[in-house]
Structure formats: C-alpha cells, structure tokens
C-alpha cells in the first residue's frame, strides 16, 4: 500500500509541475495582453498606504484586523471540525443504531445543503436567537482582557459574531471530516481488525494503536483539502457581518475606490494562508508515510 501511495505521489508531483508551468505561461501571456489592452492606472502606493493605516486611536490597521479574524475563525473552526467530525465519523462507522442514525442524519443534512443556505439558517434561526437569550452578550460586555489575550481572541464585544462564524464553518466542515474518517476506517483491511482482536486488545486500544495509524495515512490527503476548503469558507461568514478578511476587503474597496488593488491583496492573503497550510500538512503526510 505504501509503495503504491508513493508512486502515485511521485506521478502527481510531475503532473503538478507541468500544470504549474502551463499556468505560469498562461498568466504571463494574460498579463502582457492586459498591459497592452487595458488603460487602467494602478494605484499600488495608495493601496499599501491604506493597508497600513492605523485607526484614530492607534488600533491595528483595518486590513490586518480582518486578517486576524479570519485566522481566528479558521483555527477555531478547524479544531471544532476535527473534534466533531471525528466523533461523528466514529459514530457513523459503529454498529449501534442509536449512534449511526443521528450521525448519518447530521452528515447527510449538512453535506446536501449549500453552505450559504446553511449559514443563513443557522445564523438567523439558531445563533441569532439562542446567543442573545443566553445572556452571552451582557457577560462579554463586562469582560476586560489583558492585551495579549485580546490580540489572540479579539475584543470581547465581537465574540458573539466570532462564535457564530466559527460554529458555521466548523459544523459545515465537520460533516465532510466525518465522512473522511468513516471512509478511512472502512478502508483498513478486515484482517487488521481481526489481528488486533486476536491479541485480546480492548476496542479502544485496537482503534488507537492498530486501526487509526493505518487509517490516518489514508485520511490525511482528503483532510488536507477539507481544511484548506474551511479556510476559504470563512469568506462566507462576511454575509452575516463577521468582520473577517472578505468583509474588510469589501468595505475598503468601496470606500477607497481601489477595487482591483484591494481585492488582489485580499486574494494574496488567502493564497498565502492556504499555501502555508498545504505545505504544513504535506510535511505531516510525508512524515506519516515514512513511518
């Protein structure tokens, strides 16, 4: 199995190189045509000045405030998606109907709804009703955090929106992570399950010591794609007024008129985040494959 995976990875690497070369040449050709045929005057100096402009009281520049909010939602959403998705995947794989039925219902419901529709339903019918009723807003208004905690978690006044956005993207990705976990467990050969059982190991030890290490090698590639998709899905929560990168980019582009420059900078920020995550998870995958 490991040899086949390594051969497939090597083949994909060559294909990726060829595809990147084609895309680079196409991008160079498109850039040359745009330079010849488009009379737009770029204002990069004004865009970068706007990018690094602090607030009236010396606050973090608006662009980087949105970027930090995106990172917060992405990291918290990943934690929620992995924890909830793993639990749902194990439940869906089990033989107990009282676990299989609710887990399968959740997975199929989320996976077959457009993310935008789910976010609107969740925010307006659930989060918008439950969070205010819980008194969370009043409690958050009384909090006073040290500067480093506020830099890490954001101002308490915005936590309600942060929680709503995190729950939305986390639950959407959890449904897909659950299916990845279920499929990874199902792909482990039956003989491995029987061998672990013959050793007299408890079900939890069998799963943790024998099955999951093998399943992880199969789950990491699709998990990488799903976690990157989660980062991109954070842009959708701008529609429920969460002040993340896309929301901030929209306001900056509309107020300054630097539409092309601002949106290219927003795209570059997302690209940097996703590529960094891809490199990190690819190294983890290579390390797991080496073992």
pLDDT tens sequence across 50-99: 998 887 776 788 899 899 999 999 999 999 999 999 999 999 988 888 88
Number of folded domains that form the chain? 2
Q: Does residue 245 contact residue 269 with C-beta atoms inside 8 Å?
A: yes
Quote the tokens at residue 161: 């929106």
Q: Are residues 79 and 211 in the same domain?
A: yes
CA of residue 289 relative to chain centroid, distance: 23
Tokens (6 digits) for 62: 């608006």
Q: 243 and 111, same structural domain?
A: yes
Shared domain for 34 and 124, answered yes or no, is no
| Domain identity same for 69 and 9 | no
Burial 245-271 (b: 16+ CB within 10 A, else e): bbbbbbebbeeeebeebbeebbeebbe
Q: Could you tell me which of 22, 229, 210 has the C-alpha nearest to residue 111?
A: 229
Residues 133 and 21 in one domain: no
pLDDT of 146: 66
Residue 76, domain extent: 46-290
Same domain, 151 and 11: no
Same domain for 159 and 260: yes
Q: Looking at the predicted structure, is the pLDDT value of residue 158 above 90?
A: no
**Does residue 3 share a domain with residue 112?**
no
Is the distance from CB of 177 to CB of 85 less than 8 angstroms? yes
Q: What is the pLDDT of residues 116-134, one digit of tens each?
A: 999 888 888 776 677 666 6
> Are residues 16 and 62 located together in one domain of the fold?
no
Q: How confident is the model at residue 33 (pLDDT cuts 50, 70, 90)?
A: low
Global pTM reads 0.81
Which letter does DSSP use for residue 243 in this model?
-
First to last CA, the chain: 13
CATH of the domain at 230: 1.10.3720.10
Q: How many residues does the chain have?
A: 291
- Asked if residue 211 and residue 94 are part of one domain, the reply reads yes
pLDDT at 285 > cutoff 70: yes
Do residue 25 and residue 50 come from a single domain?
Answer: no
Do 9 and 90 sit in the same domain of this protein? no
| Non-local CB neighbours of 97 within 8 Å, separated by 6+ positions | none
Residue that has been written with the tokens 């402009």 in this structure: 53
């Amino acid at each position: 199995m490991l040899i086949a995976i390594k051969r497939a990875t090597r083949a994909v690497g060559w294909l990726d190189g060829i595809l990147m070369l084609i895309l680079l040449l196409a991008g160079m050709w498109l850039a040359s045509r745009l330079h010849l045929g488009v009379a737009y005057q770029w204002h990069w100096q004004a865009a970068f000045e706007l990018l690094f402009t602090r607030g009236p009281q010396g606050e973090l520049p608006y662009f980087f405030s949105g970027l930090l909010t995106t990172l917060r939602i992405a990291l918290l959403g990943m934690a929620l998606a992995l924890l909830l998705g793993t639990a749902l995947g194990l439940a869906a794989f089990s033989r107990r109907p009282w676990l299989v039925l609710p887990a399968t219902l959740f997975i199929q419901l989320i996976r077959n709804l457009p993310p935008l529709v789910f976010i609107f339903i969740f925010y307006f019918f659930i989060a918008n009703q439950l969070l205010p009723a819980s008194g969370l807003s009043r409690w958050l208004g009384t909090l006073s955090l040290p500067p480093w905690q506020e830099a890490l978690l954001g101002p308490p006044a915005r936590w309600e929106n942060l929680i709503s956005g995190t729950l939305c993207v986390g639950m959407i990705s959890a449904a897909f992570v659950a299916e990845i976990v279920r499929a990874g467990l199902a792909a482990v050969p039956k003989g491995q399950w029987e061998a672990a059982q013959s050793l007299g190991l408890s079900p939890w030890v069998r799963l943790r010591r024998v099955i999951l290490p093998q399943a992880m090698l199969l789950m990491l590639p699709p998990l990488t794609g799903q976690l990157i998709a989660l980062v991109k899905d954070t842009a959708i929560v701008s529609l429920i007024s969460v002040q993340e990168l896309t929301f901030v980019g929209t306001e900056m582009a509309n107020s300054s008129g630097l539409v092309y420059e601002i949106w290219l900078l927003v795209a570059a920020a997302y690209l940097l985040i996703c590529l960094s995550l891809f490199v990190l998870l690819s190294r983890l995958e290579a390390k797991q494959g080496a073992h």
